[in-house]
Structure 1
Amino acid sequence: MVRVEQLMTRELACVEFTQAVSVAANMMRIRKIGSLLVKRGDELVGIVTESDIVRKVVAFHFPSEFIQVGDIMSSPIVSIDESDSIFEAAGIMQAAHTRHLVVGNESHVFGMLSVRDLLSPVAKDEL
């Protein structure tokens, strides 16, 4: 059984709640990632994804430099334990209508798991 910890991304990328959406989008572009954890001070309060930016900002032609990440982020965060199976992760994603899970618990975040992470072994096998 493949566990979440085997596929999760351990490098966490965060953005501040009050940061402009344009800054968050640029961070994602530079790091080649699809989501950022959102912090308000030391507290993790949400997640912002490429999809959030497209559906809530770009689609309405809003100027992304004037909209804060906190205005478009998804919250509360959906999480999973690192020892859970990837099948459990897929089920949680489907039930919560999300493509990103925070891996950890109330006291510590170990990483992120995305649909892209779940598909990476399949893509490698196809090559």
Structure 2
Amino acid sequence: MFVAEILKTKGNAVYSITADVTVARACQALDAKRVGALVVQNGDAVVGVFSERDVVKAVAADGPNALARPVQDYMTAKVIFTQPRESLSVVMSRMTDRRIRHLPVLDGETLVGVVSIGDLVKRQIEEHAREAESLKTYIAAG
């Protein structure tokens, strides 16, 4: 199974902000969109990811004053990407090894979606359930 199959199911909506948006506005966007991370872009270029973890990091470092500062001060600037044709097992390993919860998906130079560890786990569970059902049917058929 590949990343592209997850995007077909969940869609390829990408919620993004610019690096100058305040942490407070980014928090409002995270809440309104009901997502755990926003892609930070400069035009079409991905320059970072701002996640719930970055909010915690910001408040821990600067207290309530962090809310008025730009996300560029706290975002994850070294972005790790995935591609539509990568297998879920490879992507899950990358995310687990690097303790990443959200990966932007690039097709060439084009941002085509974002996948979360939750998306991958959900798909794995669905796949295992299908396999178990197939085995039950096979065994019952004798």
- Alignment-derived partner of residue 138 in structure 2: none
Q: How many residues align?
A: 123
Alignment RMSD, CA only? 2.0
Q: Give 1:120 shift.
A: 2.2
In the alignment, what sits opposite 1:12?
14
Determine whether 1:67 maps to 2:69. Answer: yes
Partners in 2 of 1:42 and 1:86 — Cα distance? 26
Higher RCO (CA-CA < 8 Å; seq separation 6+):
1
Q: Deviations over 1:5-64 (max 9, x none)?
A: 12245100111101100100110101100000002344320100011111x123342324
CA contact (8 A) 1:17 1:69 kept: yes
Q: 2:54 aligns with which of 52, 55, 69?
A: 52
Structure 2 unaligned regions, length at least 5: 130-142
Structure 2 length as normaliser, TM-score? 0.77
Any stretches of 5+ residues in structure 1 without a counterpart? none
Q: Measure the CA separation in 1 of the matches of 2:50 and 2:60.
A: 16
Bigger shift: residues 82-91 or 63-72: 63-72
Query: Is residue 13–residue 37 contact of structure 1 (8 Å, CA) maintained in 2?
Result: yes
The structural deviation recorded for 1:96 is 2.6
Larger mean CA deviation between 33-42 and 59-68 belongs to 59-68
Q: CA deviation at 1:93?
A: 1.0
For 2:44 and 2:111, the matched residues in 1 are separated by 13
State the partner residue of 1:120.
122
Counterpart amino acid of 2:60? A
Higher helix proportion (structure 1 or 2): 2
1:108 maps to 110
